[in-house]
């Protein structure tokens, strides 16, 4: 697969302060890569290196095979970027702002701008000054998407958006992927990444700690299962404790909770000997995955 973004041992330090360290990562054409990490992990540092806003201490960042630093102007034509703290001059209307930014790219069809604004419910004629944080973020999304760039680099794109608009935004990301655009999207909100990403990279204290598909990440992690039983036959914990793939069995009255790795078949068969009134299995969301990475290091997640 063709790598659209190629980071090689990318390192950035700010004096004594860590930015990112030895980060190697590839983002392939046409995929959505979710770039996850807590605040201060180095997500924005990575992105600002990609955009040549800051320069690496060592290592290289290449985009479309070009040097992020030396070829920044031609690269920027092909990239749509939304900064983590998107800021625009406030004494102008959204339309003026977007027209100017479009002109820096040699002009952008106004119809496209209007279509995006419509879908995000952004009033183009409002002065930026009068817009709420969420509405300003919409201006940022429009300017990143309006020229239909080959690569979208979005730093915390949905911050400040209300839930309905967040859905619209996720639709826009899905459409971008369908149209063959590549998306590199940072977030500390797991659900939005989970909803659209093909792969997830997790960064912690400036280092890449995990990189896999969302499906893989999930497969490596236990389901949480809760089974409620009829009052006539309370479950016997001993029946469940020794089953293959079943751990952390806890019985609380008529309720049983456990973690299941791999097939739940053995569990179901034992449970079938009782009268089951309710069964609930929850997949871990990335939040939990992420916290298990973050709190106890890399090895933990693969441990059942």
Partner 1 sequence: MLRNVFTKSLWDNRRSLLGWIVAGTLLAIIYGGFYPQMTPQSVDSVPEGLRDAFNFSDMSSAAGYLASAPFGILVPLLVLFYGVATGARAIAGDEENGLLELVLAHPVSRTALLLQRFAALCAGAVAMAALIFLGMLAIRTSAELETVSAGQFAAQSTAVALLAIFFGAVALGIGAAGGRHGLVFAGTATVGVLSYMLNAFAPQMGAEWLQKISPFYYYIGGEPLKNGFQWGHLAVLAIATALVMGASVWRFNNRDLS
- Residue 91 interacts with partner 1 (CB under 8 A): yes or no: yes
- Residue 133 interacts with partner 1 (CB under 8 A): yes or no: no
Measured from the CB atom, the residue of 55 and 133 that comes closer to partner 1 is 55
Q: Which long-range contacts (C-beta less than 8 Å, at least 24 apart) are formed by 172-181?
A: 172/116, 172/119, 172/141, 172/145, 173/32, 176/145, 176/152, 177/30, 177/31, 177/32, 179/148, 180/29, 180/30, 181/30, 181/148, 181/149, 181/150, 181/151, 181/152
- Residue 89 interacts with partner 1 (CB under 8 A): yes or no: yes
- Residue 100 interacts with partner 1 (CB under 8 A): yes or no: yes
Q: Which residue has the tokens 């039983």?
A: 229
Interatomic CA distance for residues 86 and 167, integer angstroms? 20
Measured from the CB atom, the residue of 106 and 180 that comes closer to partner 1 is 106
Q: Which one of residues 77, 250, 278, 300 is an interface residue with partner 1 (CB under 8 A)?
A: 77
Q: Write out the binding residues for partner 1, residues 14-73 only, by CB under 8 A.
A: 48, 51-55, 72-73
Interatomic CA distance for residues 209 and 292, integer angstroms? 11
Measured from the CB atom, the residue of 70 and 262 that comes closer to partner 1 is 70
Measured from the CB atom, the residue of 15 and 163 that comes closer to partner 1 is 15
Q: How many residues bind partner 1 (CB under 8 A)?
A: 29
- End-to-end, the C-alpha distance of the chain in Å comes to 32
Measured from the CB atom, the residue of 52 and 194 that comes closer to partner 1 is 52
Residues 6 or more apart whose CB falls under 8 angstroms from that of 270 comprise 239, 240, 243
- Residue 110 interacts with partner 1 (CB under 8 A): yes or no: no
- Residue 104 interacts with partner 1 (CB under 8 A): yes or no: yes
Q: How far is the CB of 33 from partner 1 (least distance, A)?
A: 19
- Residue 240 interacts with partner 1 (CB under 8 A): yes or no: no
The binding site for partner 1 (CB under 8 A) comprises 48, 51-55, 72-74, 76-77, 79, 81, 83, 85-89, 91-92, 96, 99-101, 103-106
């Amino acid at each position: 697969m063709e790598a659209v973004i190629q980071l090689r041992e990318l390192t950035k330090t700010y004096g004594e302060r860590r930015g990112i360290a030895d980060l190697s990562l590839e983002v392939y054409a046409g995929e959505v890569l979710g770039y996850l990490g807590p605040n201060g992990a180095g997500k924005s540092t990575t992105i600002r290196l990609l955009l040549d806003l800051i320069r690496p201490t060592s290592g290289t960042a290449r985009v479309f095979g070009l040097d992020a630093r030396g070829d920044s102007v031609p690269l920027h034509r092909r990239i749509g970027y939304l900064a983590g703290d998107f800021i625009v001059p406030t004494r102008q209307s959204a339309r003026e702002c977007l027209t100017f930014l479009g002109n820096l790219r040699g002009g952008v069809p106004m119809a496209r701008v209007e279509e995006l604004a419509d879908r995000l419910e952004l009033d183009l004629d409002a002065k930026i000054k009068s817009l709420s944080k969420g509405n300003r973020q919409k201006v940022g999304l429009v300017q990143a998407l309006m020229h239909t760039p080959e690569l979208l680099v979005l730093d915390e794109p949905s911050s400040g958006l209300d839930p309905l608009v967040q859905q619209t935004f996720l639709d826009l990301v899905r459409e971008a992927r369908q149209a063959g655009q590549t998306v590199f999207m940072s977030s500390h909100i797991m659900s939005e990444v989970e909803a659209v990403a093909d792969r997830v990279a997790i960064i912690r204290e400036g280092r890449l700690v995990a990189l896999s598909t969302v499906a893989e990440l999930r497969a490596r992690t236990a389901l949480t299962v809760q089974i409620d039983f009829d009052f006539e036959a309370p479950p016997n914990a001993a029946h469940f404790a020794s089953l293959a793939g079943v751990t952390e069995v806890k019985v609380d009255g008529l309720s049983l909770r456990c973690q299941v790795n791999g097939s739940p078949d053995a569990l179901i068969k034992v449970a079938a000997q009782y009268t089951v009134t309710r069964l609930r299995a929850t997949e871990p969301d990335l939040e939990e995955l992420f916290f298990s990475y973050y709190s106890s290091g890399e090895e933990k997640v693969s441990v059942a």
